[in-house]
Amino acid sequence: MKLRLQRAWPSLIALGILYIYLALAAPKFYAADNLRDLALANVAVLLVATGMTLVIVVGEIDISVGALFAVCSIICGTFAKLGVPTILWPLVALAAGGVLGATNGTLVSFVKAPSIVVTLATMVAWREALRWITNGAWIEGLPNTFQWFGLGQRTGEAVIVVSALLLFGVLWWASRNLFAVRAIYATGSDAEAARLAGIPTNQVVFWVFVAIGALTGIAALLNAVRFSDVPANSGINLELKAIAAVVVGGTPITGGRGDLVGTLIGVMLLGSIGPALIFLGVSPYWEKAIQGGIILAAVLVEAIGSWRGRRVEFA
Amino acid sequence: MLLEANGIRKSYDGVKALISVSVELRAGEVHALVGENGAGKSTLIKVLTGAVQPDGGEIRLHDQLIEHNNPAKARDLGISAIYQQPALFPHLSVAENIAIANDGNKLWQKVDWPRRTAQATRLLQQIGARISPGALVSSLSMAEQQLVEIAKALAANASVLIMDEPTASLGQQDTGHLLRIVRELRARGAGILYISHRLEELFEIADRVTVLRDGNNAGTCEMAAVTSRELIRMMVGRELETLYPKLEIKPGKVALELRSVYCQRSKVKNVNLAVRSGEIVGLAGLVGSGRTQLAEALFGLETISHGSIYVDGSLVEIRSPRDATQAGLAYVPEDRRRHGVILEMPIRSNVTLASLDKLSKNGMLQKRAERDIAREFTERLHLKAPSIETPAKDLSGGNQQKVALARWLITKPRVLILDEPTQGIDVRAKSEIYHLIGALAEKGMAILLISSEMSEILALSDRIAVMSKGALVGIFDRQDASPDEILKLALGQNDSEVRGRN
């Protein structure tokens, strides 16, 4: 299959240069422990950014994912504490995230409210509701089977990373090959044309929000089991990290185009900066500034690309 | 009978779009559907394709009643529509665009990319289109996009093809190609419902014609049995005095002069042209011949790399639309829905957009003055709208064009550049715009008229300049101009020879 990276090339090149430079200047970066930490730390962002790519491709935005992440973490922890068997946790996470996503989806696609306002509202609402219910208290005293799914750290880590990559791989394949996902591209490209082609655009938008909710739920679960307690206030700024990764991955914020592999590259690039700085002996305070610079560069590449883009003749 | 629609009724929010309309389509015929804007053509198409639900009446395909029509069902039954603006996905490939409509019921199956590409290649070849299946639709020209639309309809095995002004944004050459394809489809037994405001085109291609007026049938007849005059009478319901009024105006001094103008980027080369006050100069040529690019250069939208422009005898430097406006130029662009009017804004704000500085005092917009001038111009242009607060998107094409015109007339320009001013608008509105152009010239405005409609350019212009491949290849006086000669020059068959006087 052709790798159609479109506008992700600059980020891929930047990533290549960074990794080569690290290999030369700080080979310890490639120590197994560090790579494992790096992968673990970015699992949640990858899954949420994957969902965010679909949302942006369909022409919408979801800034409530951070709040959804916190709610799903608490729900997973609560169910685990109630003694629900491990095997059911992913279903709980999927269902919780899916229902919260469906709320956004209903408001956006059937009530026709703008997604940025809808998800701003649900972001605040879920976060504040969570604060009110938990009083900021963490969920503690979880059963031994919670952390690392009770499989021990090594196996648990592998399960987390492999299942996230599997999920990503399935979605990537689907984005290229399933009509149901191609309909997302069609809707984001021209909603009216999609409607005339018989694509139920409202339902497409609705299910995209369900999908990002479900992915956020899974991300929350995979993140929560790394620790022995569940904090009440996780996922702060997750929406910004996810949107940044999507943009850096070459998906234009205007919809209709984009690629999940680009998003993977975006997550890797933005996620590698912090650890890279530590290994290179640079103050980690530079991390945010450099990430900001990368996002700005990605937007500039996109803008300059559109200047050169051929003008469509309407003569 | 291939397709029959009987007594179709449809109201939008209490406004009757179709009161009772019937139309029948035979296999192997091109059936023209004509009428003024607002006569109900678009609504009828939407009903046939299932895009809207009718309030009453019935549709039969092969004598089978179609119930609960929707876009997917209509397509499965073999009814496809091609709209004036192609309904394609700009960011997807040609092959995917062609296939996507037929994959709706294979939601969770794997997309077969090689088969899609093969199908696209075959269909595009079949209609003689040299387009790569892998190309993104956004990189195609309007004409190429229409061809993709046709391939899409073929992919759906359409037995009924509805074409809504498919040639409205095409030049002469592309129109010819499209009409050839339509004839081929007819020969293969398809029934084609063909909508166009270009009557000449209908006489060329249609077998029968159905005229709609105010949501009712105004008659159906054999195309060979009517004249265009009769058709217009059926459409308008009365005799239209003259479609093309031509006032005898004595041209004054030279108002606009171009001396060896070049634009590097858009390949406009060595254009020398003078337009006198009160004169209408037509700019003819094929799509891509550089007419629009020249107009854009004059209006500061395109960089002039070499050459000079004089307005009323004095040299002007035009680097931006602002410079152009200050120099006394006004440009009403083609494709009014994209560039001419701002659809979401009310008429009032639309028409005053180019003259806000004149309507402001110390940076404050004088609301009262704005309203007054908006009212004055909507009246003067016979703009039909409930109020000056009506958003432009709720207006018909003809009235939108009047809004675009009003915006520039308020700036009191010396030179008015009109790019396809009557594209896709109905005869009555066309006639009104022609009268308006005449009246403006009479008041001493110099007018540069770009048009792809030969009869329009021949009837209105005092002189006709022909462009080909970015160069001005000839200028005819009104009495010397003939369609054949103009077309020959436009096609570049007389490359070396510059005809007429300059």
Query: In the prediction, which pLDDT does A198 show?
Result: 76
Comparing A185 with B452, which gets the higher pLDDT? A185
Residue A205 has pLDDT above 90, yes or no: yes
Look at A186 and B100 and tell me if their CB atoms are within 8 Å: yes
Start-end of H helices in chain A? 9-25, 32-57, 65-81, 89-105, 115-134, 153-177, 179-189, 191-196, 201-224, 238-248, 260-280, 286-308
Q: What band does B500 get if pLDDT is binned at 50, 70 and 90?
A: very low
B452 vs B8, more confident? B8
Helix axes A65-81, A201-224, angle to 10 degrees: 50
Per-residue model confidence (pLDDT) at position B453: 80
Residues whose CB falls within 8 Å of the CB of residue A304, separated by 6 or more in sequence, listed in order: none
Looking at the complex, report in whole angstroms how far the Cα of residue B51 sits from the nearest Cα belonging to chain A. 7
Convert the pLDDT of each residue in A50-94 to its tens digit.
Answer: 999 999 999 999 999 999 999 999 999 999 999 899 999 999 999
Token code pair at residue B85? 């603006």
Q: Which of A100, A132, A97 is nearest to A118 (CA)?
A: A100
CA distance B71 to chain A (A): 5
Q: What percent of chain A has pLDDT over 70?
A: 95
pLDDT computed for residue B496 by the predictor: 42
Q: Which two tokens stand for residue B247?
A: 């006032």
> How many Å apart are CA B337 and CA B166, to the nearest integer?
17
Mutate to test the interface with A, among B46, B103, B173 (most CBs of A within 10 A): B103
Least confident window among A73-82, A100-109, B285-294: B285-294
B183 CB-near residues (< 8 Å, 6+ apart): B30, B205
pLDDT in tens, B352-368: 888 887 888 777 778 88
The pLDDT, as a whole number, for residue B327 is 92
Is the predicted ipTM greater than 0.85, yes or no? no
Asked if A224 and A76 count as a contact pair (C-beta separation under 8 A), the reply is yes
Contacts of residue A192 in chain B, CB cutoff 8 Å?
87
> To which residue do tokens 């242009």 refer?
B381
pLDDT at B456 over 90: no
Question: How crowded is the C-beta side of A20, counted as CA atoms within 13 Å?
Answer: 6
Residues 6+ away with beta carbon under 8 Å from B181: B127, B128, B147, B150
**pLDDT, tens digit, 9 for 90 and up, residues A207-251:** 999 999 999 999 999 999 999 999 988 999 999 999 999 999 999
Under 8 Å between Cβ of B185 and B29: no
For residue B321, the SS3 value is: helix
What does pLDDT average to over chain B? 86
- B335–chain A Cβ distance below 8 A for any pair: yes
| pLDDT score for B229 | 81
Written as six digits, the tokens of A1 are 């299959």
Quote the pLDDT of residue B245: 73
Chain A residues in contact with B265 by the CB 8 A cut-off are none
Where exactly are the structural domains of chain A? 6-302
Rg of chain B over CA atoms, in angstroms?
A: 24
Residue of B nearest to A195 (CA): B71
* Rounded CA separation A167/A170 (Å): 5
- To which residue do tokens 């009828």 refer? B44
Measure in Å the smallest separation between the Cα of B162 and chain A Cα atoms: 13
Q: Is B287 on the interface with A (CB under 8 A)?
A: yes
Q: Of A232-236, B174-178, B198-202, B491-495, which range is least confident?
A: B491-495
Is B51 in contact with A198 (Cβ distance < 8 A)? no
Size of interface A-B (CB pairs under 8 A): 95
Q: In Å, how far is A225's CA from the nearest CA of chain B?
A: 32
How much is the mean pLDDT over chain A? 90
**Core vs surface per residue A14-48: b (16+ CB within 10 A) or e:** bbeebeeebeeebeebeeeeeeeebbbebbbbbbb
Cα–Cα distance, A209 to A103 (Å, whole number): 8
For range B235-262, the mean pLDDT: 80
The answer to whether B87 faces chain A, any CB pair under 8 Å, is yes
- A206-220, A301-315, B58-72: the lowest-pLDDT one: A301-315
Q: How far away is chain A from the Cα of B358, in angstroms, using its nearest Cα?
A: 32
Pick the residue from chain B with its C-alpha nearest to A204: B107
Q: Give CA–CA dist B486/B9, Å, rounded.
A: 45
Two structure tokens written together for B7: 């007594």
CA distance A230 to B326: 67
A308–chain B nearest CA distance, Å: 12
Q: In this complex, is the C-beta atom of B108 within 8 Å of any C-beta atom belonging to chain A?
A: yes
Q: How far apart are CA A97 and CA A72, in angstroms?
A: 6
Q: Which domains does chain B have, with CATH numbers?
A: 3-236 (3.40.50.300), 251-328+413-497 (3.40.50.300), 342-412 (no CATH)
Between the alpha carbon of residue A196 and those of residues A98, A119, B72, B83, B249, the distances in Å are: 28, 28, 8, 10, 49
- DSSP class of residue B478 equals G
**Span B477-499, pLDDT tens digits:** 988 888 778 877 887 654 444 44
With beta carbons less than 8 A apart as the criterion, state whether A295 and A40 touch: no
Higher local confidence (pLDDT), B100 or B186: B186
On whether the CB atoms of residues B456 and B298 are closer than 8 A, the answer is no
**Choosing among B68, B80, B82, B89, which should be mutated to test the A contact, i.e. which has the most A CBs within 10 A?**
B89
CB atoms B288 and A313 under 8 Å = yes
Q: What is the DSSP letter of B68?
A: S
Say which range, A16-20, B69-73, B497-501, has the weakest mean pLDDT.
B497-501
DSSP letters, B193-245, are EEE-S-HHHHHHH-SEEEEEETTEEEEEEEGGG--HHHHHHHHHSS--S-SS-
For B492, the 3-state DSSP assignment is coil
Tens-digit pLDDT profile for residues B3-42: 999 999 998 776 778 999 999 999 999 999 998 766 888 8
**In whole angstroms, what is the distance from residue A298 CA to residue A244 CA?**
9
Selection from B376, B381, B356, B377 nearest residue B367 by Cα? B356
- Mean pLDDT over residues B303-311, rounded? 92
- Under an 8 A CB cutoff, do A189 and B169 touch? no
Residue A313: the pLDDT is 32
Q: What's the pLDDT at A34?
A: 93
What are the chain A neighbours of B111 within 8 Å (beta carbons)? 176-179, 182
Report pLDDT digits (tens) over A286-308. Answer: 999 999 999 999 888 878 776 65
pLDDT at position A310 over 60:
no
**CB of B380 closer than 8 Å to CB of B422:** no
Between CA B191 and CA B182 the distance in angstroms is 10
Q: Using CB atoms within 10 Å of the CB of residue B113, give its burial: 0 to 12 exposed, 13 to 18 middle, 19+ buried.
A: middle
Contact across the interface for B142 and A185, Cβ inside 8 Å: no
Given this structure, which CATH class describes domain A6-302? mainly alpha
User: Which tokens sit at B100?
Assistant: 């996507």
Interface contact B89-A177, CB threshold 8 A: no
Determine whether the interchain pair A198/B88 forms a contact, defined as Cβ–Cβ distance below 8 Å.
no
B148-186 burial, b for 16+ CB within 10 Å, e for fewer?
Answer: bbbbbbbbbebbbbbbbbbbbbbbbebbebbbebbeebb
Q: How close is the nearest chain B Cα to the Cα of A116, in Å?
A: 20
Closest CA to A256 of A9, A8, A102, A53: A53
Residue A312: closest C-alpha in chain B: B141
Q: Which long-range CB contacts under 8 A does B129-133 form with residues at least 24 apart?
A: B131/B94, B132/B94, B133/B93, B133/B94, B133/B95, B133/B98
pLDDT band (50, 70, 90) for residue B238: low
Q: pTM of the full predicted structure?
A: 0.72
Confidence of residue B60 (pLDDT cuts 50, 70, 90): very high
CB pair distance less than 8 Å for A196 and B171: no
Query: Residue B275's closest CA among B448, B442, B478, B467?
Result: B448
pLDDT for B67 beyond 80:
yes
